[in-house]
């Protein structure tokens, strides 16, 4: 990481010709030293006199001017004039260039033009009017300091305002078309853990075009980083199968739940409020927590009682993030020619993501007498995330 930074900095220095400028300064010192050596009388060995000349040239050039060594002859003073003028010019150029590199980097980062270097990040691809609500809820739900990278073409000022709003969180911004591979590479997709593709709609586009872009993005993401988990937002239900085929783990249809909510709200008053309050992070909300290993093999009612007594939380559902029966299960561990062949062929065609597709199995309102299996997650209603 540090090495990367240093090499990037050195590259920038080279690009801005800082080394040439440095060389100019050094040669100016050298020339000044020669000039001083020739024009000024002195005693001792020639290297002594030359050294004194170099010291004088450096002190003069840097506008320090100790005055411990001074030219007394006319020739020496003429040399001094050149060293002073050259020094002011080249040193100020050097300082300005180095400073400009830093300023430019800051500027580029704010504009979202600098490549993302962090890893383990969540990519939020695209933008629409509801993203701020999404971000707000997401950042409150993220337990650890997970970096979030926003990739879109919104004005940088808006992104800057967002970053200021969530100053404590790590939010990065990358400007660009997220359906293009180079943009995704700039967002360091290889290091990302999750990507969320939002249904960004441009004024002249219809819903199917938006979904198409979502599909292309999903395909590109999986091609670059087969293990990334993707959540995609679709506008049309009929496109769901395409995205699932592309390896997208979760597909959301925009507005899908509005109808459920409306129907519920009409039939039973208060229902709407209950659901809304459960969905938002404020107040009582739904949280997913990993069932601790000490509960494995014990009954659901024990976990429920523990949650109720210790954390004032109500157990609603259990789920496992198991894998569906996949190729990886089929292929044996021991070396076999056919298995190697299949693995190699899948790797060659970059389709390894088809191997082990994650499958979430959930059980709402699990019976009391069921035993808890390993690697289960509990969904609870609580005021905050219970720390089991």
Partner 1 sequence: MMDTTFFRKIFLFQDLSEDEIKATLSHAISREFSAGEVIIREGEPGGSMFIMCQGEVEITKALTLVLDEDTPKERVMIRLKAEDGVSFGEMALLENEVRSATVTASSHCRLLELKQEDFLHLIHQDPAMGVKLLLRLAQLLSRHLRKTNQDVVKLTTALAVSLGG
Contact between 352 and partner 1 by CB under 8 A: the answer reads: no
Contact between 108 and partner 1 by CB under 8 A: the answer reads: no
Smallest distance, partner 1 to C-beta of residue 178, A: 24
List 30, 134, 166, 346, residue binding partner 1 (CB under 8 A) = 346
* SS3 readout for the chain: CHHHHHHHHHHHHHHCCHHHHHHHHHHHHHHHHHHHHHHCCCCCCHHHHHHHHHHHHHHHHCCCCCCCCCCCCHHHHHHHHHHHHHHHHHHHHHHHHHHHHHHHHHHHHHHCCCCCCCCCCEEEECCCCCHHHHHHHHHHHCCCCCCEEEEECCCHHHHHHHHHHCCCCCEEEEECCCCCHHHHHHCCHHHCCEEEECCCCCCCCCHHHHHHHHHHHHHHHHHHCCCCEEEEEECCHHHHHHHHHCCCCEEEECCHHHHHHHHHHHHCCCHHHHHHHHHCCCCCEEEEEECCHHHCCCEHHHHHHHHHHHHCCEEEEEEECCECCCHHHHCCCCCCHHHHHHHHHHHHCCCHHHCCCECCEEEECCCCCCECCCCEEEEEEECCCCCC
Contact between 339 and partner 1 by CB under 8 A: the answer reads: yes
Smallest distance, partner 1 to C-beta of residue 338, A: 4
Contact between 331 and partner 1 by CB under 8 A: the answer reads: yes
Contact between 223 and partner 1 by CB under 8 A: the answer reads: no
Smallest distance, partner 1 to C-beta of residue 337, A: 4
Separation of alpha carbons 138 and 40, rounded Å: 73
Q: Is the dihedral of CA 330, 333, 334, 335 positive or negative?
A: positive
Stretch that binds partner 1, among 23-31, 289-297, 298-306, 348-356 (CB under 8 A): 348-356
Contact between 219 and partner 1 by CB under 8 A: the answer reads: no
Q: Which is nearer to partner 1, 302 or 340 (CB)?
A: 340
Stretch that binds partner 1, among 16-24, 256-264, 343-351, 360-368 (CB under 8 A): 343-351
Stretch that binds partner 1, among 8-16, 215-223, 259-267, 333-341 (CB under 8 A): 333-341
Stretch that binds partner 1, among 6-14, 75-83, 211-219, 325-333 (CB under 8 A): 325-333
Contact between 338 and partner 1 by CB under 8 A: the answer reads: yes
Contact between 245 and partner 1 by CB under 8 A: the answer reads: yes
List 273, 298, 308, 345, residue binding partner 1 (CB under 8 A) = 345
Contact between 342 and partner 1 by CB under 8 A: the answer reads: yes
Q: Which is nearer to partner 1, 22 or 330 (CB)?
A: 330
Contact between 299 and partner 1 by CB under 8 A: the answer reads: no
Q: Which is nearer to partner 1, 143 or 349 (CB)?
A: 349
List 31, 142, 327, 382, residue binding partner 1 (CB under 8 A) = 327
Which residues bind to partner 1, rule: CB under 8 A? 245, 326-327, 330-331, 337-342, 345-346, 349, 351, 354
């Amino acid at each position: 990481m540090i090495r990367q930074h240093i090499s990037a900095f050195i590259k920038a220095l080279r690009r801005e010709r800082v080394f040439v400028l440095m060389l100019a300064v050094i040669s100016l010192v050298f020339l000044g030293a020669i000039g001083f050596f020739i024009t000024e009388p002195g005693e001792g060995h020639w290297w002594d006199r030359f050294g004194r000349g170099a010291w004088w040239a450096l002190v003069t050039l840097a506008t320090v001017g100790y005055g411990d060594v001074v030219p007394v002859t006319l020739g020496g003073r003429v040399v001094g004039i050149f060293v002073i003028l050259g020094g002011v010019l080249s040193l100020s150029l050097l300082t300005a260039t180095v400073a400009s590199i830093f300023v430019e980097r800051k500027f580029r980062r704010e504009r979202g033009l600098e490549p993302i270097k962090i890893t383990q990040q969540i990519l939020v691809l695209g933008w629409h009017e509801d993203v701020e609500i999404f971000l707000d809820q997401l950042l409150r739900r993220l337990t650890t300091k997970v970096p979030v990278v926003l990739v879109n073409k919104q004005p940088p000022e808006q992104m800057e305002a967002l970053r200021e709003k969530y100053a404590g969180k790590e939010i990065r911004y990358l400007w660009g078309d997220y359906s293009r591979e180079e943009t995704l590479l700039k967002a360091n997709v290889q290091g990302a853990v999750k990507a969320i593709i939002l249904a960004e709609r441009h004024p002249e586009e219809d819903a199917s075009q938006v979904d198409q872009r979502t599909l292309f993005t999903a395909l590109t993401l999986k091609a670059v980083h087969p293990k990334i988990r993707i959540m995609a937002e679709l506008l049309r239900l009929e496109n769901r199968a395409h995205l699932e085929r592309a390896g997208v783990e979760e597909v959301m249809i925009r507005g899908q739940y509005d109808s459920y909510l409306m129907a519920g709200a009409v039939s039973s008053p208060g229902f709407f409020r209950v659901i809304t309050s459960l969905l938002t992070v404020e107040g009582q909300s739904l949280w997913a927590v990993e069932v601790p290993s000490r509960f494995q093999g014990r009954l659901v009612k024990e976990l429920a009682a523990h949650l109720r007594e210790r954390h004032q939380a109500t157990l609603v559902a259990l789920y496992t993030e198991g894998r569906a029966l996949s190729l990886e299960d089929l292929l044996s561990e021991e070396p076999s020619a056919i298995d190697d062949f299949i693995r190699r062929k899948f790797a060659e065609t970059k389709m390894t993501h088809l191997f082990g597709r994650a499958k979430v199995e959930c059980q709402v309102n699990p019976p009391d007498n069921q035993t808890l299996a390993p690697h289960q997650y509990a969904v609870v209603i609580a005021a905050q995330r219970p720390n089991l």
